[in-house]
């Protein structure tokens, strides 16, 4: 257990220090949201209606962008081999790494949401709803994305291949995340249904992600 705690602390520390690049995700998120009015026009009513969708797309792309750091740096400096050979089960180590990555790269996105919501003309309650759905949904993005990151690192390929593999798998999270936000803001639908499914998706990916990523690392790096 202490090994996992140490792994989480180490990953967070590396991510937040110089060269870690976790906060670049937030900057990217901000830039994507700022770009949107240039494409859609500065109509505040329209931006307010599309706000949850824009925030969710931005968060999805930002979390995708930081994913290839999940294993790549450790693979380059050899510490991934140490993790592979250690007595801690690889599945748990993968889960710990993904948790650390979510804490370092996913939580800042959620913290930034209120500011970005203001730019998109969302009121307080709507912003809170989007932030809550992001809080429930981004773990699913990280944990399913981890599978793609593990495949990419064993193949020495990152970037576009990772995006092509991971994005179709994140469609359900996007659907239920945006649906829950919209239900909380305007919709006739109850907030609970899509939100519970979103939580279920996160919990399921919490189980599937570490096993698939560990299998991919084990088969790919021998």
Question: What residues contact residue 3 under an 8 Å CB cut-off, 6+ apart?
Answer: 86, 88
- Output 17 or 219, the one with its CB closest to other proteins: 219
- Output 25 or 209, the one with its CB closest to other proteins: 209
Measured from the CB of residue 77, what is the shortest distance to other proteins in angstroms? 22
> Is residue 118 within a helix (H) or strand (E), and if so which, with residue range?
helix 107-119
Maximum distance among all Cα pairs of the chain, rounded to whole angstroms = 57
Residues that bind other proteins (CB under 8 A): 147, 151, 154-155, 157, 161, 164-165, 168-169, 171-172, 175-176, 179, 189, 197, 201, 204, 208, 212, 215-216, 219-220
Residue 92: CB atoms within 10 Å? 15
- Output 78 or 168, the one with its CB closest to other proteins: 168
Interatomic CA distance for residues 94 and 84, integer angstroms: 10
Do residues 92 and 178 lie in contact, with contact meaning Cβ atoms separated by under 8 Å? no
Q: Residues 89, 94, 99, 103: what is their CA dihedral angle, to the nearest 10 degrees?
A: 130
Measured from the CB of residue 119, what is the shortest distance to other proteins in angstroms? 26
- Output 124 or 159, the one with its CB closest to other proteins: 159
Measured from the CB of residue 148, what is the shortest distance to other proteins in angstroms? 8
Of 112, 101, 102, nearest in space to 31 by CA = 112
Supply the DSSP symbol for 187. Answer: -
Measured from the CB of residue 107, what is the shortest distance to other proteins in angstroms? 25
Interatomic CA distance for residues 49 and 143, integer angstroms: 29
Measured from the CB of residue 161, what is the shortest distance to other proteins in angstroms? 6
CA separation, residue 92 to residues 143, 171, 195 (Å): 12, 26, 27
- Output 46 or 197, the one with its CB closest to other proteins: 197
- Output 20 or 172, the one with its CB closest to other proteins: 172
Measured from the CB of residue 188, what is the shortest distance to other proteins in angstroms? 10
């Amino acid at each position: 257990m202490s090994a996992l705690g140490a792994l989480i602390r180490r990953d967070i520390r590396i991510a937040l220090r110089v060269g870690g690049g976790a906060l670049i995700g937030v900057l990217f998120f901000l830039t994507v949201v700022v770009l949107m009015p240039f494409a859609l026009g500065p109509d505040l009513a329209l931006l307010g209606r599309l706000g949850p969708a824009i925030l969710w797309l931005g968060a999805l792309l930002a979390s995708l962008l930081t994913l290839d750091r999940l294993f790549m740096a450790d693979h380059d400096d050899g510490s991934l081999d140490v993790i592979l050979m250690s007595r801690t089960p690889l599945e748990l180590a993968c889960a710990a790494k993904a948790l650390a990555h979510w804490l370092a790269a996913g939580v800042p996105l959620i913290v930034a949401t209120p500011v970005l919501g203001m730019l998109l003309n969302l009121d307080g309650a709507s912003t809170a709803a989007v932030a809550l759905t992001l809080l429930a949904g981004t773990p699913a993005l990280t944990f399913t994305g981890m599978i793609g990151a593990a495949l990419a690192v064993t193949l020495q390929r990152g970037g576009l291949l990772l995006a092509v593999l991971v994005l179709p798998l994140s469609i359900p999270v996007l659907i239920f995340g945006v649906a829950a936000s919209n239900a909380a803001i305007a919709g006739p639908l109850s907030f609970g249904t899509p939100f519970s499914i979103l939580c279920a998706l996160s919990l399921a990916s919490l189980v599937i992600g570490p096993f698939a990523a560990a299998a991919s690392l084990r088969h790919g790096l021998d």
